[in-house]
Amino acid sequence: MKYFSVFVLILLISCSFQTKSQKVNVGFEDIYHHYFTLTPEKYVIIDSQEKMNEISSSIRKNYRGNRSPPIPQVTAEEKYIVFKPVLKNTNDVEIDKVEVLNQTLYIKTKPAENPDRSRSSRFSPNILIKIYTAQILKKVIINTQKQIE
């Protein structure tokens, strides 16, 4: 009987650890890659229209009179993130997927060549993405990964 109860206890503990480490794929849209600094931080979660307006004013300053992208509207179902990936051997990155694991939002990227940028450019773009399941952003930490493993 002791062995059975120990077995059940181990089984319950392992099941509880498995439920906590579920991966959840998150719907996203890659909005724009800006090749100038929008924020000094590695990432910014834009969860209000005021923050979006601040970022948009920074974008407009850098376009200097040329036509700039429209200001996105922040809603309860959609949030935006501006992040700076690390470039290694390419001049840009492509976002492969966005997922949540243990309350951490992972943005998985892979190297990409942008024909509009110089091949030798290693200036990391500030990437603006839209996250469709905003309820997951309440208590998560952002972790940008350079490449898919």
Query: pLDDT tens-digit profile of 55-95?
Result: 988 888 887 666 777 888 888 888 899 998 888 888 888 99
DSSP-derived letter for residue 116 is: T
Note whether residue 84 is domain-resident: yes
Distance CA 117, CA 5 (A): 63
More confident residue, 100 or 143: 100
Handedness of CA 7, 11, 14, 20 (dihedral sign): negative
What is the domain count for the chain? 1
Contacts of 47 (CB under 8 A, 6+ apart): 74, 79, 134, 137
Q: Is 95 inside any structural domain?
A: yes
In a domain, 8, yes or no: no
Q: What is the spatial distance between Cα 100 and Cα 62, in angstroms, rounded to a whole number?
A: 33
Q: Are 57 and 23 in contact (CB under 8 A)?
A: no
Residue 12 in any domain: the answer is: no
Residue 10 lies in a domain: no
Q: What is the DSSP track for 20-32?
A: HT-EEEE-EEEEE
Asked, for residue 1, whether it belongs to a domain, the answer is: no
Whether residue 37 is contained in a domain is answered as yes
Query: 35 in a domain, yes or no?
Result: yes
| Residues spanned by the domain of 88 | 23-145
124-148 pLDDT, tens per residue?
A: 888 999 998 655 655 555 565 544 4
